Every structure is written in structure tokens, then in C-alpha cells.
Amino acid sequence: MRVVDLFCGCGGLSLGFEKAGFDVVAAYDNWNAALHVYNSNFKHPAKFLDLSDVEACVEEISSYSPNMIIGGPPCQDFSSAGKRNEDNGRGDLTVHYAEIISKIKPPVFVMENVDRILKTNKLVEAKQLFKEAGYGLSYQVLDASYCGVPQRRKRFFMVGVLGEEDGFLDTALERGLSKDPMTLRDYFGNSLGIEYYYRHPRSYARRGIFSIDEPSPTVRGVNRPMPDGYEIHANDPVQSKEGVRPLTTKERSLIQTFPQEFNFEGSKTDIEQMIGNAVPVNLAKYVASTIASYLTDWGRKKDNGNGNRLTISSAIQKQPIASVVAMSLHVPLVKFDEVAKKYPDQIVVNKQVDKSNGLDLSKNLLVSLVKNDTIDLLLDGSINVYYTGKKFPSTIELNHLYYFMPFRKGKGIRDLYYIKVARVGSKHEVHYDADPNDLRLVFEIEFVKQLFRDYKPIELEIWHTFTDTTLHDILAMCQKENGQ
Ligand SMILES: C[S@@+](CC[C@H](N)C(=O)[O-])C[C@H]1O[C@@H](n2cnc3c(N)ncnc32)[C@H](O)[C@@H]1O
């Protein structure tokens, strides 16, 4: 599922979504220092873009055809650290974000912000735009310390899915929270080598010293040393300043659950700022995983009854998100009886294949899921027929089919077959107990060769099914996957 991250900063949100299995394909921000860090840690590009220019952004972002847009518009104007003037410019970016989403209309979007956004008119405006665009909305304030982050950081998340009902994710977002908040000792053990540390308070009415046996307070964009004159506060967990120090920049990035190897390059001030801006990676992953599970369940539910849209066969559950996106795209299905009328004998006949000429890279290829037990029968030569599922997309040039590669669930593709004949038949030809009137596309196939030494884990997008793909395209795609 293609995800685009807006206001990406150094990539906390992106990384969490990647860790939950999403494919982030592009990201945007207008701060070069953050883009530099982002680009030195991810394979896909993060580009400079002023996201207040909605028209230009819609054009640029649409070029990635995202299935999901995620983003945390700047929150200084709403956050308790800022001036709280939502009309001083940056608050508008929340509305611009909503405008971009409602113009591109990805099936799913996520908006992250500080919890104070709940009290603003900008959120009311943004919500209205989302509703008018047809999104069902769910939102929640999450405390990161209950989502695998050793930090009390409250953040607002809104998830929108086209055509859904409001509140669809509310319980799911609560269900996975941990029972207890995570402390620094839970996360780091004793590896920090300290028991207490200093974090500069906003006012001396508040304490500045914290214990590693509690979640850290919110990691902010500035990190100050402990002033010589700091006096122990009544709420400090220790009575002496001896050995108490502020956390290092690296430690603060680790509390934001960036991995140890995440590469922060740039000035200290910039790095502190982008670390403080970031969505903690594990918090982003928590939200992303909740969405992924929800999409899987949604796919299953819709599979049991919606005839109009492309629904997923149980065999394709491994690709839940892809399937849900397919559903949201309303892919039309093959009407087998109509195809049978159009091609009463067969759709294609490639019986005269001349194997001596080697492979013809220009020929069209069908990649389609075959259940594990059936693949074994194919591979040991017990069967030479493949019948499609009932929910076969009609976006296919049936009369161009030539090669076939079975997609093995959880593994990908490896073996190449010729399609000798493609026709309408029935499952009954293979399974005698099946209804003969249960029409399917049937392919009589012949093994050509094992194309790859091991299975290539390509993403099988069922609505695409690689039917308008040539053998050359699939080889190029697999080489790209390998980074060749
Ligand atoms: C809260 S931070 C995002 C943090 C990011 N989601 C993460 O997890 O690391 C907001 C970002 O918005 C960017 N930004 C502010 N105004 C912008 C604009 N007009 N166009 C693009 N990006 C902008 C800032 O540079 C900043 O990196």
C-alpha cells in the first residue's frame, strides 16, 4: 500500500508506518535540515515542498497515486509550548492538509497533532472538509507511554477511511494500549547509566529532575543544561543534584524510539528541534498496526457479502491492505457468462508455442495467487490446469495472455508457465464435488522453467494482477526489488 507522508520532518511517523509494514513511497517538508536527515535514513525520497500551496501539492503528490496519506501539520500554534494563536499562519496548515486530502481522496488518511487541536476551530474546519469528501472519521488522544514509548507524550490522531462510519477505529485504538505506562528503565534497562536526569522546566514552579523509574516527560525541541543555581524542587525524586545531568541528544532520540542506528546529521539545534517535533516511532507504529489490523478485518467482513466491489478471497488474506484498497477502488469483476458468450470455445490458444526460441519478453504475463496445496500439485506435474477465483478483476486483456506465474502465498513468484489455452470453464473440472455451473476462467498451462532460484516477494495487487505486464516488466521489477 503506497503511503505518502506530509510534513515529514526527520521521519518519525514514516518510520513507524514502515515498521508496521506499510510502503512509504515519498515524503514532503519545507525544512532542508530535516529533509537531509530523512533522506539519509530512508530509501524513498523526501522532497522540498511548501504544503501551503495546495494546488501545486495536489499535482505533485498525486503523481505517487497514494493509497494512504499520513501527516502531522505543524502544531506550535496549538501546542501548550507555543503562543496558542491558531490564526497566526501555521494553524492554517491543518486546513491545507485537509484540503490536500479531500482533493486527492486517498482511501485512507492519518492526521497527527497535539491534543490541544481538539479545542480549535481549525479542527472543526478540517473535519468539515473530510466529511464533505466522504470520509468516516475516528480520532483519539493517545499517551505514547501506553504505546511502547518510555515518554508521557499526548498526541491527537485522526484516521479517515472513505465511505466508513464515524468512530470505526475508536475501540481498536484503545484495545492495544499497555496496562502500565512504560518507564525509561523498562525500555533501556540500566544501559543509560543514570538513575536521575535533568530536564529544564518551563517554570521553576515545576520540578526539573526525573527518575528512570517513570516515563520521561515530553521530549521538546530544545535541551538546556542544568543551571548552577537550580534548587531542588519539592517534587524532585532525589534530594541532591549530585550526578544529575541532562539527557544527550542521542538519548533523547532513543526516548523518541528512533533506532540506535538512525543517523542524525546537522547542527545540534536543528537536530534537537526535529527530534522534539517527531512522532515517536513506536507511537506511529502502534497507530499504523491498529489501522493494518482494522483493514484486514474490514476486508474479511466485506468479503462475506458485497458483490459489487472486488472482495478478497480467503487465500489472499496475506495481502489485506492491498485488498482493501482494491475494494475501495470498486474494481469491476469478470462476468464469466458474458466472457463465455464472447469466446464460446476459448479466449486464447497458444498451443503452437515454439520453445526453442527461448523466452519472449514482450509477451503478457498473468501473476495470480495459487493456494499452497495446489502449487505443489502444479509443481509435481499432477495437474496442468489453473482456475481463477470467482472474484477475478475484469481489468485484464484476456486475449493477450501468454505466460503465467503462480503467486505462492507469503512467498511470491518463482516458476514460469505457458498459458496454452485460456477459456471459461468451471472448478468442477478439477474438483468433482464443485458445482459445474460455478463458472471460472480456466487456464491450461505448461511448465516452462524455474525463473528465479528462490521466490521473489513481489506485492500481488489483486486488482492489477500483473495481467497487463509483460515478462520483461516482471523481470525488471524483480531486479529492482533486489536493488540490482
Ligand atoms: C510536527 S513536525 C512533523 C514531524 C514528523 N511527522 C515526524 O514524525 O518526524 C512538522 C513539520 O512541518 C514542516 N512544515 C512547516 N511548515 C511547512 C510548509 N509550509 N510546508 C511543508 N512543511 C512544513 C516543518 O518543517 C516540520 O518538519
* Contacts of 407 by beta carbon, 8 Å cutoff, 6+ apart: 367, 368, 369, 370, 413, 458, 460
Catalytic residue among 8, 75, 147, 478: 75
Residue 169 domain-assigned?
yes
Comparing 463 with 437, which gets the higher pLDDT?
Answer: 437
Interior angle at CA 300, CA 299 and CA 302, nearest 5: 65
The predicted pLDDT at position 479 comes to: 73
- At residue 297, does pLDDT exceed 70? no
**Can you give the pTM of this predicted structure?**
0.67
Cell numbers of 264, please? 542524525
Q: How many domains does the chain have?
A: 2
Range of the domain at 404: 336-481
Residue 134 domain-assigned?
yes
CB 59 within 8 A of CB 13: no
Cα–ligand 1 centroid distance for 132 (angstroms): 25
Average pLDDT over residues 122-141: 95
Same domain, 295 and 343: no
Percent of the chain with pLDDT over 90: 55
Instruction: Please tell me what DSSP assigns to residue 267.
Output: -
Same domain, 31 and 90: yes
Q: For 153-175, write each residue's pLDDT tens digit.
A: 999 999 999 888 899 999 999 99
Cα–ligand 1 centroid distance for 273 (angstroms): 11
Same domain, 425 and 291: no
Residue 143 domain-assigned?
yes
3-state secondary structure of 403: strand
Give the Cα separation of 398 and 423 in Å (integer): 9
Give the Cα separation of 219 and 252 in Å (integer): 7
Same domain, 291 and 345: no
Same domain, 295 and 352: no
Q: Measuring from atom 22 of ligand 1, which residue has the nearest CA?
A: 29
Q: Where are the alpha helices (DSSP H) in 108-217?
A: 121-132, 170-175, 184-188
Instruction: Please tell me what DSSP assigns to residue 141.
Output: E
29 lines ligand 1 (CB under 6 A): yes
Last residue of a domain, one of 239, 271, 299: 299
The predicted pLDDT at position 86 comes to: 52
Instruction: Please tell me what DSSP assigns to residue 393.
Output: B
Q: For 178-226, write each residue's pLDDT tens digit.
A: 999 999 999 999 999 999 999 998 888 899 999 999 999 999 999 888 9
1 lines ligand 1 (CB under 6 A): no
- At residue 228, does pLDDT exceed 80? yes
Q: For 31-54, write each residue's pLDDT tens digit.
A: 999 999 999 999 999 999 999 999
Cell numbers of 255, please? 526516548
Residue 209 domain-assigned?
no
126 lines ligand 1 (CB under 6 A): no
280 lines ligand 1 (CB under 6 A): no
Cell numbers of 203, please? 517554570
Same domain, 406 and 290: no
Banded pLDDT at 105 (limits 50, 70, 90): very high
Residue 261 domain-assigned?
no
Q: For 81-101, write each residue's pLDDT tens digit.
A: 444 455 555 558 999 999 999
CB 111 within 8 A of CB 97: yes
Q: Which of 84-93, 130-139, 398-407 has the highest mean pLDDT?
A: 130-139
Residue 192 domain-assigned?
no
Same domain, 293 and 355: no
12 lines ligand 1 (CB under 6 A): yes
Same domain, 288 and 353: no
Same domain, 290 and 394: no
Residue 292: CATH number of its domain: 3.40.50.150
Same domain, 292 and 345: no
Comparing 411 with 4, which gets the higher pLDDT?
Answer: 4
Q: Which of 29, 36, 49, 61 to mutate to test the pocket of ligand 1 (most atoms within 8 A of CB)?
A: 29
Give the Cα separation of 196 and 384 in Å (integer): 69
Residue 54: enclosing H or E segment and its boundaries? helix 54-62
Same domain, 345 and 284: no
CA 281 to chain CA centroid, nearest Å: 13
Cα–ligand 1 centroid distance for 116 (angstroms): 17
Give the Cα separation of 206 and 201 in Å (integer): 6
Comparing 385 with 215, which gets the higher pLDDT?
Answer: 215
- At residue 249, does pLDDT exceed 80? yes
Banded pLDDT at 267 (limits 50, 70, 90): very high
Q: Which of 277, 279, 285 to mutate to test the pocket of ligand 1 (most atoms within 8 A of CB)?
A: 277
Same domain, 7 and 151: yes
The predicted pLDDT at position 307 comes to: 31
* Contacts of 195 by beta carbon, 8 Å cutoff, 6+ apart: 211, 212, 238
Residue 234 domain-assigned?
no
Q: Is 57 among the residues known to form the active site?
A: no
The predicted pLDDT at position 410 comes to: 79
Amino acid at 174: E
Query: Which residues, in sequence order, are bridge partners of residue 69?
Result: 4, 109
Cα–ligand 1 centroid distance for 67 (angstroms): 21
Cell numbers of 267, please? 547542527
Interior angle at CA 380, CA 377 and CA 384, nearest 5: 60
Residue 208 domain-assigned?
no
Strands (E), 34-87: 46-48, 68-71
CB 7 within 8 A of CB 72: yes
